[in-house]
C-alpha cells in the first residue's frame, strides 16, 4: 500500500441495493438484481479496484456511489455526510468532489465541443473561475497536466487518438479538484501500449492532487500495479475485499482465484487449467441462484452452499463471503 494512503474514511456505503424492473418479463414484479446488500468503505488517498466480469454490477455500483442513479435501498456517507437522499441542488457541492472517468473515450466526449469547451464546462457550471482569462489559463494548465499540447485548444474530439481523448476526459474530471474519482474501465478501450501511459498519468495525478480512486475493471491484470486494495464482485454481491498484495498472492474466495487464473498466460498448459476451473453459465441477475450465488460455477460447492447464503466474514483483515474459504 502507498505510504500516503490514510485510514480516514472518505466514503462509506452500507447495504446498497439496486433493482431495475424488467417490464418484458412474464414473471410479475420481476427485476434485475444489479447490486445486492453491498457494504463498502473507501479510504482517502487509496486506489480501490472494483473487479468482476461484465454485467456483475460494478458500473451500477460506481454510479450509485456518485448518486447518478437512485438507490433502491441503502445509505451513502461522503466525508461523514449522509448523501443518500440529497436533492439535486444539495448534491451540486458534493458533485464537485466526486467525478467520473468513463470507459469509452469516443462516446464520453461531445463531438460538437472543442477541448476548450469540454474542459471548461465543469469550471463554468460551478463558477470556478472569476474571469475569462483565469478560465483559459486553468484550461491550459489542465491540458498540460494531462499531456495535451496547448495548440490543441480549439480542436474537436475526432481530431485525437483514443489515448488523447481519454486524457481530455481525465482533465475534465480533475478540473474541479475532486477528492474521489470513479474510473470506470478507463483503459479497456485502449491499446495495451497506451493503457500503461494512461495508468501512469492517473498514478502521477493521484500523487500530485492526493486523489482517491475507485478503479472499475473486468481485468485483474490491469489493476495489479495500481491498486492498494481490491474488491471482487460477482452477480451484484461482493465476494472478497482485501489488500491488493494479499489478494493477488493468496486469494481466499474461489471466484477471485478464478479471475486471477484467467489472466492470460503464454503457457498453453496453464491456459487449459484455467478453462477447467470455472464451470457452468453465468447465472441470470433476474433470478440469482439460491444460497451462494457462485455455487453453480464453483468447483468447491457443497449441498450447504446451494442452500445457505454465506455471510461476509473477516479473516485476518480480509472480508470473504464463502463457507469454505481457500487456505
Q: Are 148 and 171 in contact (CB under 8 A)?
A: yes
> Which grid cell sits at 23?
417490464
Please give the size of the binding site for ligand SF4, defined by CB under 6 A. Answer: 12
**Which run of H or of E encompasses 197?**
helix 192-209
- Asked whether position 232 contacts ligand SF4 by CB under 6 A, the answer is no
Computed over its alpha carbons, how large is the radius of gyration of the chain? 21
238/203 Cα distance (integer angstroms): 25
> CB-based contacts of 137: which residues, under 8 Å, 6+ apart?
none
Closest CB 311 distance from ligand SF4, rounded Å:
10
Largest separation between any pair of C-alpha atoms in the chain = 68
Beta strand segments in 90-228, E: 98-101, 180-184, 212-217
Lay out the site mask for ligand SF4 across 74-93 (x = CB under 6 A, - = otherwise). Answer: --------------------
Contact region for ligand SF4 (CB under 6 A) — 186-194, 205-213, 241-249, 297-305? 297-305
Kindly tell me which residue out of 65, 139, 216, 305 binds ligand SF4, with binding defined by CB under 6 A: 305
- Asked whether position 324 contacts ligand SF4 by CB under 6 A, the answer is yes
- Asked whether position 50 contacts ligand SF4 by CB under 6 A, the answer is no
Beta carbon nearer to ligand SF4, 109 or 298: 298
What number of other Cβ atoms are within 10 A of residue 311's Cβ?
A: 9
Kindly tell me which residue out of 122, 230, 310, 318 binds ligand SF4, with binding defined by CB under 6 A: 310
Closest CB 219 distance from ligand SF4, rounded Å:
21
| Nearest alpha carbon to residue 227 among 262, 202, 198, 252 | 202
**Please, which of residues 263-292 interact with ligand SF4 by CB under 6 A?**
292
- Asked whether position 254 contacts ligand SF4 by CB under 6 A, the answer is yes
Q: Which residues bind ligand SF4 (CB under 6 A)?
A: 254, 292, 294-295, 298, 300-301, 305, 310, 322-324
Amino acid at each position: 500500500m502507498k505510504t500516503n494512503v490514510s485510514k480516514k474514511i472518505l466514503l462509506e456505503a452500507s447495504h446498497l441495493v439496486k433493482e431495475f424492473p424488467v417490464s418484458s418479463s412474464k414473471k410479475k414484479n420481476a427485476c434485475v438484481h444489479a447490486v445486492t446488500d453491498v457494504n463498502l468503505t473507501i479510504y482517502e488517498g487509496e486506489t480501490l479496484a472494483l473487479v468482476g466480469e461484465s454485467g456483475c454490477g460494478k458500473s451500477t455500483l460506481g454510479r450509485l456511489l456518485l448518486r447518478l442513479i437512485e438507490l433502491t435501498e441503502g445509505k451513502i456517507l461522503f466525508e461523514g455526510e449522509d448523501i443518500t437522499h440529497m436533492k439535486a441542488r444539495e448534491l451540486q457541492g458534493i458533485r464537485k468532489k466526486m467525478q467520473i472517468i468513463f470507459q469509452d473515450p469516443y462516446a464520453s466526449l461531445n463531438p460538437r465541443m472543442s477541448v476548450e469547451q469540454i474542459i471548461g464546462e465543469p469550471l463554468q457550471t460551478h463558477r470556478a473561475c472569476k474571469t475569462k482569462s483565469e478560465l483559459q489559463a486553468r484550461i491550459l494548465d489542465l491540458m498540460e497536466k494531462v499531456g495535451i499540447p496547448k495548440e490543441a485548444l480549439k480542436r474537436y474530439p475526432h481530431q485525437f487518438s483514443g489515448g488523447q481523448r481519454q486524457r481530455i476526459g481525465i482533465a475534465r474530471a480533475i478540473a474541479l479538484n475532486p477528492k474521489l474519482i470513479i474510473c470506470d474501465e478507463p483503459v479497456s478501450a485502449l491499446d495495451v501500449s497506451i493503457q500503461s501511459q494512461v495508468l501512469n498519468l492517473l498514478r502521477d495525478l493521484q500523487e500530485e492532487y492526493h486523489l482517491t480512486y475507485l478503479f472499475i475493471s473486468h481485468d485483474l491484470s490491469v489493476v495489479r500495479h495500481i491498486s492498494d486494495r481490491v474488491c471482487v464482485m460477482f452477480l451484484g454481491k461482493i465476494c472478497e475485499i482485501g489488500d491488493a498484495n494479499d489478494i493477488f498472492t493468496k486469494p481466499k474466495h474461489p471466484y477471485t482465484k478464478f479471475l486471477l487464473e484467467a489472466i492470460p498466460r503464454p503457457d498453453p498448459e496453464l491456459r487449459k487449467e484455467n478453462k477447467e476451473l470455472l464451470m457452468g453459465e453465468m447465472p441470470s441477475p433476474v433470478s440469482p441462484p439460491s444460497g451462494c450465488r457462485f455455487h453453480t460455477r464453483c468447483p468447491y460447492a457443497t449441498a450447504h452452499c446451494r442452500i445457505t447464503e454465506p455471510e461476509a466474514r473477516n479473516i485476518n483483515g480480509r472480508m470473504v463471503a464463502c463457507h469454505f474459504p481457500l487456505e
